Amino acid sequence: MISVAVVGTGGLGSRHVLNFASVQDCRVRRVFDLDPQAASRAATPVGAEVAASLEECLADDIAAVVVVTPTPDHPAPCLAAAAAGKHIFCEKPLARTLDQGRQIVDAARQAGVKLMVGHVVRYFPAYLTAHQYIKEGRLGQVGMARMSRINVLPASPWYGDYAKSGGALHDLAIHDLDWLVWTFGLPVRLFARNLADRLPALDYGLVSLRFAGGEIAHVEGSWADAGGFRTAFDLAGSGGLLRHDSTSWPTLVAQKRGGAGAAPLSLPAAPAHKSPYVIEAEQFIAAIREDRPPPISGEEALRTLTVSLACLQSAETGQVLELQGDTYVPASEGE
């Protein structure tokens, strides 16, 4: 039985408590939050203890720590867990700054513990199926990706503080940026704009990216909606079009090129009838049990973090950025 401690019960924290408690061979033994009442509400349904301090989550009877604090607070529990030899599951984004992200990844590597980051969209059926469809060559040569993620501003006050959350681009659109990096690699050039400086409570971000294979992507993330959460994408290739819209049914369709009046083709949902959040918890526990690398490693999350923070840099400076080595710098004039 693998015992875990969950640190942070706001937002997704309570969901992670329930998800990890549902995983076979896993027990949520301890829950910690700066608000003891919040910790108690999350711990009681699964029979977990309420920890009085972070240190109690690093005791010998704990094998892994699940970090679900606000983004800028990720380093402290992650670094402490690594120092104590505990495996780490950290919610996305990995960190608010690149230095913080590197510290977390380096600490886990040096301690020899597993680090997985919660880029859960990889497990959502439409996104997983689209990734596989492209990797199998069924869409042909991909030319364009247009991705959208729309929501209202989350209730916790720190989300509206750009210095802490990074706004809609860093906290919300990072899901789509991660999917693009997972599917096409690091973009070689990008440009972004947002509203964080003028309307932080209604933040909207838009990014244009170009990849080494020639693919062009447009990503929008918004907290300016007045309704509910929704996602969409169009992926166009030489072999056809993949279209996802979370507000329609079926949510994912494929249309082949070459054939007049070709009807959209509904794609099979994958994986079947299980919460993606449960799947990522299962994958993390399986990586510990089987002593194998986690499927979404700290190194992968650091690559996505590099792209997301470059988008913020572009939005803040108005500059087009290009990839040099593993970092982004202002693009050369005339290019």
Strands 87-91 and 115-118: parallel
Distance (Å, whole) CA 233 – CA 224:
18
| Structure tokens that stand for 265 in this block | 């083709």
Q: What is the pLDDT of residue 110?
A: 98
Handedness of CA 93, 95, 101, 106 (dihedral sign): negative
pTM recorded for the entire structure? 0.94
Q: What is the pLDDT of residue 126?
A: 93
Residues of the chain whose pLDDT is less than 70? 259-273, 333-335
SS3 content of the chain, % helix, strand, coil (to 5): 40, 25, 35
Amino acid letter, 128: L
Distance (Å, whole) CA 11 – CA 157:
11
Domains, the chain, ranges and CATH? 2-113 (3.40.50.720), 122-270+306-329 (3.30.360.10)
243 closest CA partner among 256, 230, 234, 231: 234
Q: What is the pLDDT of residue 266?
A: 53
Distance of CA 199 to the CA centre of its chain: 24
Instruction: Indicate the SS3 state at residue 226.
Output: coil
Task: Give bridge partners of residue 239 from the DSSP assignment.
Answer: none
